[in-house]
């Protein structure tokens, strides 16, 4: 038996087919925790399962090798995008790697347990998988505290921006998404499965991004500030680096095509301007700020009332709060851009 830290290797055979898909055979070897195995099945998409314990895993994949051109995207666990669709020329291969946070529950902390172990889905327009290798690692982390606009949404067409963030990162950093649907600043702080669990996962130097406002509809100003302050202090007590994130806007236009209204800009039922309070608190606490309200407002107004529907679930659900996969992907890129510009992540951690 190999020692802990050794890798799982899935070997794959090319199948001559019209789709030129690469169909994995059987994963062999020992799991990084000293036991277990893995296997891959299917051709489009290819689904791989590895029997591993909770932890952070680096995944190295060899894509391509088919008779025709390929285009492969990878999702992990609860629909997290870990690799955007990646093309390869016919007969050519390319290597990519990323990290996956394996935990229980695998998606929203108060949601369904999911499947034990690590699950990867190789999809895209023409998926081609030649091999996949998994090993347990410890990397710096980005931990997320948030609501349904951030979380790992379990079902289509919903997607949170935290669910799309991993695709922009290299295997030198991992994302642990503790965002949970329906949570406000008080409930996230109080629930043992949420902020206390996130705090227990922190290592020195880890980033903790906090976006909580959408469900603070009747939270008074002092309580809201106290909750965010307590989370800032809790993160710092563990050696982490808190980052406050203002909430994404709701797609709620005025007649002049702007979002200059309380509904869109998250002014709550008590008249508390929640994004403004986050901005003020960040300055007072000397805490980095990602002003996602300003960034998403600019993007939605740029697209206008019609084109901006695609960022949200207006067509599918008449929903102007929750994002589509496209909207979540764009908003994740905005977050990542701010983290990069403020030098909160190392350049080599960003794709």
Look up the pTM and report it: 0.91
Residue 126's closest CA among 20, 40, 10?
Answer: 20
d(CA 107, CA 53): 16
Could you tell me what percent of the chain has a pLDDT over 70?
90
pLDDT, one tens digit per residue, over 246-290 is 999 999 999 999 999 999 999 999 999 999 999 999 999 999 999
- Written as six digits, the tokens of 302 are 């740029």
pLDDT at 25: 36
Is it the case that residue 36 has pLDDT exceeding 60?
A: no
d(CA 292, CA 347): 21
d(CA 76, CA 140): 19
Residues 6+ apart with CB under 8 A from 297: 249, 259, 264, 265
pLDDT, one tens digit per residue, over 63-112 is 999 999 999 999 999 999 999 999 999 999 999 999 999 999 999 999 99
d(CA 96, CA 76): 14
d(CA 22, CA 39): 14
Strand 174-177 to 38-41 pairing: unpaired
d(CA 12, CA 26): 7
Is it the case that residue 14 has pLDDT exceeding 90?
A: no
Q: Over the chain, what is the mean pLDDT?
A: 91
pLDDT, one tens digit per residue, over 121-147 is 999 999 999 999 999 999 999 999 999
d(CA 157, CA 191): 27
d(CA 267, CA 77): 35
Q: How far is CA 88 from CA 21, 43, 55, 319, in A?
A: 12, 17, 31, 37
**Of the given ranges (28-42, 265-279, 308-322, 334-348), which has the lowest mean pLDDT?**
28-42
3-state secondary structure of 229: helix
pLDDT at 24: 43
pLDDT, one tens digit per residue, over 292-308 is 999 999 999 999 999 99
d(CA 264, CA 281): 21
3-state secondary structure of 112: coil
Give the pLDDT mean for 150-179.
Answer: 98
Q: Cis link prior to 328 (omega < 30° from 0)? A: no
d(CA 184, CA 195): 12
pLDDT, one tens digit per residue, over 319-329 is 999 999 999 99
pLDDT band at 32 (very low <50, low <70, confident <90, very high): very low
Residue of 31 and 347 predicted with greater confidence: 347
3-state secondary structure of 102: strand
With 0-12 CB in 10 A as exposed, 13-18 as middle and 19+ as buried, what is 328?
buried
d(CA 151, CA 111): 11
pLDDT at 16: 24
- Contact 227/187 with Cβ under 8 angstroms? no
pLDDT, one tens digit per residue, over 222-234 is 999 999 999 999 9
| CB-based burial, 181-193: b 16+ in 10 Å, e otherwise | bebbbbbbbeeee
C-alpha Rg value of the chain to the nearest Å:
21
């Amino acid at each position: 038996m190999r020692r802990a830290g050794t890798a799982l290797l899935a070997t794959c055979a090319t199948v001559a087919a019209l789709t030129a898909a690469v169909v994995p055979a059987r994963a062999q070897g020992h799991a990084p925790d000293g036991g277990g195995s893995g296997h891959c099945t299917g051709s489009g998409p290819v689904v791989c399962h590895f029997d591993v314990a909770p932890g952070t895993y680096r995944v190295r994949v060899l894509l391509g090798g088919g008779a025709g051109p390929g285009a492969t995207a990878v999702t992990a666990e609860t629909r997290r995008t870990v690799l955007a669709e990646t093309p390869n020329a016919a007969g050519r291969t390319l290597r990519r790697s990323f990290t996956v946070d394996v935990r229980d529950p695998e998606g929203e902390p108060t949601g369904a347990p999911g499947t034990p172990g690590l699950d990867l889905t190789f999809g895209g327009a023409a998926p081609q998988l030649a091999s996949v290798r998994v090993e347990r690692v410890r990397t710096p982390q980005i931990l997320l505290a948030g609501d349904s606009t951030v979380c790992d949404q379990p079902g289509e067409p919903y997607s949170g921006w935290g669910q799309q963030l991993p695709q922009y990162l290299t295997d030198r950093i991992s994302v642990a998404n503790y965002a949970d649907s329906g949570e406000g600043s008080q409930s996230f702080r109080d629930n043992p499965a949420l902020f206390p669990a996130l705090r227990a996962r922190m290592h020195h130097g880890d980033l903790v991004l906090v976006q909580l406002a959408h469900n603070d509809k009747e939270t008074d100003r002092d309580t809201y500030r106290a909750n965010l302050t307590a989370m800032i202090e809790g993160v710092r007590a563990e050696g982490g680096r808190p980052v406050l994130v203002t909430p994404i806007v709701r797609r709620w236009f005025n007649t002049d095509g702007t979002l200059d209204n309380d509904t869109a800009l998250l002014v709550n039922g008590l008249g508390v301007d929640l994004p403004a309070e986050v901005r003020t608190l960040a300055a007072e606490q000397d805490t980095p700020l990602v002003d996602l309200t300003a960034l998403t407002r600019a993007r939605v107004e740029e697209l206008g009332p019609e084109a901006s529907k695609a960022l949200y679930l207006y067509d599918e659900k008449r929903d102007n709060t929750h994002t589509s996969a496209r909207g979540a992907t764009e908003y994740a890129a905005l977050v990542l851009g701010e983290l990069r510009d403020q030098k909160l992540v190392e350049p080599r951690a960003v794709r």
